[in-house]
Structure 1
Amino acid sequence: MHRQSLLRLARQTGAFPLVELPPPYLAPSLHFSLHRSPNQASNFSSTAVAAGHGRDLSKSRGVSAIHRTGPKFKLGVSKYQLPKPVARGEVAKRHPTPDHGLWAFFPKDRQALSSPEYDVAHGRSWSIQELREKSWDDLHALWWVCVKERNRIATSNLERERLKAGYGEYEATERERIVRRTQNGIKHVLRERWYAWEDAQKLYKDGYRPQYDGTPVASELETASGEPEKPGKA
């Protein structure tokens, strides 16, 4: 209900008890008008107007982050010295680095947008059987080779989207799928090794001691000779 209509209704029904009025959350202004002092002729304000001047002395009046309004006066910055941009001709030239590491994010021709012929020229992904034969250092190196290749593909995709080239999406997606399959195989092999290490640790805590290269353990040497083997004895 409109505020003016509620005030008019409050003046006409001033003698009505509060129980006949709508709830406060539906008509708060109606309840406020009934309890308002008769001497108060205007809405509530936290800042009084200067007597005799009629001017608002609050400097921050009108500053609102919601309505994007600024102050009514200009803010001077002469107190602080602003930096000046360097002219283009005065900027020192940087010599290109042919072996810079960031070139790994681009194809061999060092172009931001790779060609479909370059993306389609790839092999198959590493199988799990092949990855099981690799050491920890080899798997670590192969993982970061895959990460670098995916970053290179992402760079080409971003440039392709910026130029709206309209080609090369299928080849790039297929190449990234092969790289991701290799990464999944690396994680699978590392997960297997982790479970094997946990099982070996559990067997060792239970008292199991494996034999290496057919060398008998100390208990078997003691049973065969009748006395425990001494260190350094042939």
Structure 2
Amino acid sequence: MTTQNARFAKNLASRIDDLRKLVPVGASDANVRAATAWLRDIHDNLQEFWAYVGLSGDPTIKAYGLEWNPLPGDITAILFGGEETPQFGHAGPLKPIVHSVDAQGAPIEHPSIGLSSIIMSQTTSIDFTMGGDPFHDRDRSLADYFACSVGCCEGKSFSRFDVIEYAAYRLGYIHAQGDRYLKRSPVAAAALDKIDEFYPLYKRNNLDYVLLSIAQELLNSEAIERYRVAAGRL
């Protein structure tokens, strides 16, 4: 491995450590904003550096996805983590504790924010016999993890990567891309605009909680921890 690749691989591992700042209740607004860059770094580079740090196979992430097919056109569904029980809907922890190891290999624990799903419609009574539970938990390839749907608004779905780009460019957490972003993802942006306009279901902006849930899923993933430990040995 070249010195440059080793440095890049270690930098990516440092992003995983950065994301830990989002897990405890009370993560700072600055850290939530910065998560758009940290998550984008993992999206863009984890697959490439997986083999560089000596890991075999491909990284997989165990995570939920919206797989209600066909998706009713008047349904709004959101999968996200929160600091408290929401005003309506179901709330429950994905895992109460995020486990990892420190630089010396000793096990450590981090408080978890939990995971919630909100499903609603103004015109249709929600009946899970319509298609079973819309959110399914399964092992996913890294590409599928970011590309699969994690919610919808009035039948228009959006993926984890859509959420990351929306926060970065539409909410201005990194910088604005103006028309370029809207032209690239108009359907997802329109759906997320409406999600963002909802009365806050928790204490924070609704989209911040979707980002928090993405961070939590990654930190709960065995693949992410394996990469962090392997990169730390370089």
TM class, shorter-chain normalised?
under 0.3
Q: TM-score, normalised by structure 1?
A: 0.23
TM-score calculated relative to the size of structure 2? 0.23
Which of the two has greater strand per residue?
2
